[in-house]
Amino acid sequence: MNASFRISGAGRLNQAKTASFSFDGKSYLGTEGDTLASALLANGVHLVGRSFKYHRPRGFLSAGAEEPNALVQIVRDDARKTPNVRATVQELYDGLTANSQNRWPSLAFDVGAVNDIASPMFSAGFYYKTFMWPKSAWLNFYEPKIRSAAGLGVSPDRPDPDHYAARYAHCDVLVLGGGAAGIAAALAAAETGVRVILADEQAEFGGSLRFESGAKIEGENGFDWAQAAIAKLKALDNVRVLSRTTAFGYYAQNFVGLVERVSDHLKSPGRELARERLWQVRAKRVVLATGAIERHMVFANNDRPGIMLASAARAYLNHYGVAVGRNVGIYTANDSAYAAAIDLRKAGVNIAAIVDLRDNPSGPVIDEARGLGIEINFGRAVVSAGGKLRVSSMTVQPKNGGGERTIAVDAILMSAGWTPSVHLFSQSRGKVAFNEETRRFVPGAYAQDCMSVGACNGTDGLDATIDEAYAAGAQAARDAGGKDSSGKMGQGARPKVDGSESWSRGMLGAAPGAGPGTTVKAFVDFQNDVTAKDIRQAVHEGMHSIEHVKRFTTNGMATDQGKTSNMHGLAIAAETLGKPIPQVGLTTFRAPYTPVTFGSIVGHARGALFDPTRRTATHGWAAAQGAVFEDVGQWKRAWYFPKAGEDMHAAVNRECVTVRKAAGLFDASTLGKIEVVGPDAAKFMELLYTNPWEKLEPGRCRYGIMLREDGFIYDDGVVGRLAPDRFHVTTTTGGAPRVMHHMEDYLQTEFPHLNVWLTSITEQWAVIAVQGPSARKIIEPLVEGIDMSDEALPHMSVREGKICGVPTRLFRMSFTGERGFEVNVPADYGEAVWEALWAEGQKHGATAYGTETMHVLRAEKGYIIVGQDTDGTVTPNDAGLDWAVGKKKTDFVGIRGMMRADLVAKSRKQLVGLKTKDPKVVLEEGAQIVEDPKQSIPMKMIGHVTSSYWSENCGRSIALALVAGGRDRMGQTLYVPMPNGTIEVEVTGMVFVDEKGERLNG
């Protein structure tokens, strides 16, 4: 056992319960209830990491979430290697394995530390200045080199095997922060019976009561009172108590995001436990009790391991029973560090000296320290710390200059004062206000229904804090509609304070010895290696806004978001600018308060659950046939059906030829389907589509085009009129939801006088396309009640009847140019009907075909696909579809847009066919087209290829293209310049197979 800095009898942990762990391969013993930080400190380990830029040795600054330095990698297994974990937050478990980051080959000897010697090169803004030339070197040399040298930690290279839970919750009063203030507020709110949630980021509630040995409430030590109060709250039905839960974001209308660390503290969390749980809480009232964070002193080499915040040393001692050194120096500008000196002295640790910047402070803690025989030096500054891997001395000087004296120490505890944690308040869009007297930003104007209490509100002293918090808790409950049945709301047991610690003030900015004109490394932001000198330099180089200073120096931009550094940085900038602090302003606080894993935000929405998968009724059948699927939106569609030995090309060629020679079956279920029903259904269709509908007879179909008001094609599809008041509308697969939205919009808001109902029926009907010369022979034996003759059921007609004994809407229509049918059956019967049709099809040599063959066959006929051959800037005329626009119509959506001068210009791009001069060459879709391939670059592009395929039926390649003035260019040779040479093409019509359309009845 090597925990030589653990003080027997000190702290609250049961020191008999040990837990072993390793750091950088070396084994140590800690105590149950430790954080990784307290366990390492108990073993005398201060050096835990190397800094980001200068690779300087670093130790622990804090004992909490504000930690900038002690970032480690926690390794559970090959996939679980979490980088940048704050050792001050990570709870110890038996077997924990941690490694330091940012060092090579070892923590004590790190090659990257040459950056520290070469630091003049790396001063503020160095990224912007140093690597500017030659330009090409940035991409090939500087950036990769910088990236490999910089960065924090190494991300795991395997998928995250953990799972993350999510909960929504509603409450009347949400209390954020579980210190004295938060607990008092929760007690007051809870006794009114309203729903309360109390959350705190630590494993145990109590906040600063964890280290404030002088706090006494209800006659008990403050921390013990807190545990009793939490037990009482947990026993109430109307209260939810969440520990290890950080409120990271405060959003609109009291919507707060919290993340609960469920199992990172457990030795072997079972699979049934999530790693983290995201809470999305909507609260009627929020009480912010987020406390305050101590600031460090800004002096030369203030980053040496062993130099830490005074309150952190108290937490390590009073809670964990760990002394952070044996011979400790104190450097302070306010009273609170005296309490650390006193606690340590009483625990038997030598206090080398207290160095206090103030001239003649007085007060009980100072008297007590003096009474304990501790050397106190007023009006003096620590101008430098000695030692490298661990602080070894502090050099003290009168603050206005004079003789230096070096005092040997193994730790320095510092306190420049306390910064109220206004992060969440600021995120709620509240405005902070600067208090000139106490020199701190506190909540000013509120933007949401919340209140701040205690240290985050600038309230000093435990008594005043509990007073304020208890009243606020009761007020919040009242405002949230809490019932005052007892008539004693807020009159309950306000906790009585019997002992209190209180301090405020302190200093902001660089301490003497690190002021203007000095070049020492006095760190303001430890994580991003920003010094006082860097901030002054930024101002001198012209950064006069605090937002610019922040970005130029990166002060406050590390993962700790400047929790300890922002106020110092601001004060130094203000001093350099010669302006008062409020005029320079505070940078914006943004979510998240502390880093949040992607896992907790994503939750279960990843992998197969990232997005819903839609499968058609025949999916299982197609998969069993060996179909290859493609994603079309959320749908899985059969792409092609390869037989043994076939590649995609061979399969598609065979499918294409078979459909035109015999027949093919195709699952068209994904097409959007909308039923338009009502006495005014035809009138509605007239307004929403370019075509005329009033005179379309029931039982007939028409190809419809839908425009937006701007006159461009929005969607298309075949529409069947089932009855005078009933249309079966089909849309493109991807367009179904937006077409429904578009129709509803007009029906509800522009044409509400029309008596029409719209119903999405996409999921209700499975659609089996049977296409090809043998199509009728395949369907006929299975159909009842429909005359399938060409006279009774001509092309573009629809009948209702039965197929295989189930209801069908049987469309005679074709997207292949062959005799074709689309058999609609209720989706539940889709697979059975498909199998019956397939069995019939086998007798006639039919093939199943997928979306690729569907695309080739339709392109051979020049049928367009909206979204492929059109792009939202194509009019019906551009697409050669003028015939589908009702010439006598006086109104439809898009009628006016179509008349705009630019939309009727002759030079518009028009859809045409292209044939390559070499029939074997297949153009690339999206390829640009030019008139003269010899012109200089950049060439004038006159259009592009929209669809291009190998057509086995034509024995050559075919393509569709949008070409400026295309219809006047028939027979012209144009050029498609490609990286491997220019391709010659001839402009043709859009129909490559059966130009007369005879095969529709073939």
Partner 1 sequence: MLLIRCPYCEEERPELEFRNAGEAHIARPTNIAAESDDDFEKFFFIRSNPKGVIYERWRHIHGCARFFNAVRDTVTDKFVMTYKAGEPKPAKLPGASK
Residue 675 has a CB neighbour count (10 Å cut-off) of 17
What does the block give as tokens for 628? 């290859």
Q: Tell me which residues in 465-504 interact with partner 1 (CB under 8 A).
A: none
Write the DSSP symbol of residue 696.
P
C-beta closer to partner 1: residue 138 or 446: 446
Return d(Cα 879, Cα 962) in angstroms, integer: 8
Return d(Cα 225, Cα 500) in angstroms, integer: 13
Least CB distance from residue 895 to partner 1, whole Å? Answer: 5
CA neighbor of 311 nearest in space, from 382, 416, 186: 416
C-beta closer to partner 1: residue 129 or 900: 900
Return d(Cα 338, Cα 310) in angstroms, integer: 8
Q: Which stretch binds partner 1 (CB under 8 A): 201-209, 801-809, 843-851, 898-906?
A: 898-906
Find the helix or strand (DSSP H, E) in which 568 lies: helix 566-577
Convert residues 200-239 into a mask of x (bound to partner 1 by CB under 8 A) and - (unbound): ----------------------------------------
Q: Nearest-5° angle of CA 230, CA 233, CA 235?
A: 110
Find the Cα–Cα–Cα–Cα dihedral 631, 636, 642, 645, rounded to 10°.
70
Least CB distance from residue 690 to partner 1, whole Å? Answer: 13
- Using the rule CB under 8 A, which residue among 167, 896, 917, 940 binds partner 1? 896
Looking at residue 943, its amino acid is: G
Convert residues 710-729 into a mask of x (bound to partner 1 by CB under 8 A) and - (unbound): x-------------------
- Using the rule CB under 8 A, which residue among 900, 904, 940, 970 binds partner 1? 900
Determine if 605 is a binding residue for partner 1 (CB under 8 A). no
CA distances from 345 to 46, 61, 209, 569 (A): 20, 20, 19, 33
Determine if 604 is a binding residue for partner 1 (CB under 8 A). no
Determine if 901 is a binding residue for partner 1 (CB under 8 A). yes
Looking at residue 340, its amino acid is: A
- Using the rule CB under 8 A, which residue among 78, 547, 745, 995 binds partner 1? 745
SS (H, E, C) 245-306: EEEEEEECCCEEEEEEECCCCCCCCCCCCCCEEEEEEEEEEEEECCCEEEECCECECCCCCC
Least CB distance from residue 176 to partner 1, whole Å? Answer: 18
Return d(Cα 441, Cα 423) in angstroms, integer: 11
- Using the rule CB under 8 A, which residue among 271, 695, 741, 888 binds partner 1? 741
Write the DSSP symbol of residue 746.
I
Determine if 752 is a binding residue for partner 1 (CB under 8 A). yes
# residues contacting partner 1 (CB under 8 A): 25
Least CB distance from residue 242 to partner 1, whole Å? Answer: 20
335 phi, psi to nearest 5 deg: -75, -25
CA neighbor of 837 nearest in space, from 766, 785, 787, 789: 766
Q: Which stretch binds partner 1 (CB under 8 A): 69-77, 373-381, 894-902, 963-971?
A: 894-902
Least CB distance from residue 127 to partner 1, whole Å? Answer: 35
Least CB distance from residue 890 to partner 1, whole Å? Answer: 6
CA distances from 585 to 441, 445, 448, 576 (A): 10, 16, 22, 14
| CB-based contact 71:101 (threshold 8 Å) | yes
Least CB distance from residue 280 to partner 1, whole Å? Answer: 8
Residue 802 has a CB neighbour count (10 Å cut-off) of 15
C-beta closer to partner 1: residue 748 or 973: 748
User: What residues have CB less than 8 Å from 43, skipping those under 6 apart?
Assistant: 2, 3, 4, 5, 28, 29, 30
Determine if 895 is a binding residue for partner 1 (CB under 8 A). yes
Q: Which stretch binds partner 1 (CB under 8 A): 258-266, 418-426, 457-465, 745-753?
A: 745-753
Q: Tell me which residues in 252-311 interact with partner 1 (CB under 8 A).
A: 252-253, 255, 280, 282
- Using the rule CB under 8 A, which residue among 157, 437, 791, 891 binds partner 1? 891
| CB-based contact 298:514 (threshold 8 Å) | yes
Q: Which stretch binds partner 1 (CB under 8 A): 23-31, 136-144, 400-408, 741-749?
A: 741-749
C-beta closer to partner 1: residue 107 or 705: 705
Write the DSSP symbol of residue 143.
H
Determine if 902 is a binding residue for partner 1 (CB under 8 A). no
Convert residues 415-454 into a mask of x (bound to partner 1 by CB under 8 A) and - (unbound): --------------x-----------------x-------
C-beta closer to partner 1: residue 904 or 970: 904
Determine if 170 is a binding residue for partner 1 (CB under 8 A). no
C-beta closer to partner 1: residue 429 or 579: 429
Determine if 142 is a binding residue for partner 1 (CB under 8 A). no
Return d(Cα 483, Cα 502) in angstroms, integer: 36
Determine if 890 is a binding residue for partner 1 (CB under 8 A). yes
Least CB distance from residue 452 to partner 1, whole Å? Answer: 20
What does the block give as tokens for 222? 């403050």
Determine if 899 is a binding residue for partner 1 (CB under 8 A). yes
Interacting residue ranges for partner 1, rule: CB under 8 A: 251-253, 255, 280, 282, 429, 447, 709-710, 741, 744-745, 748-750, 752, 890-891, 895-897, 899-901
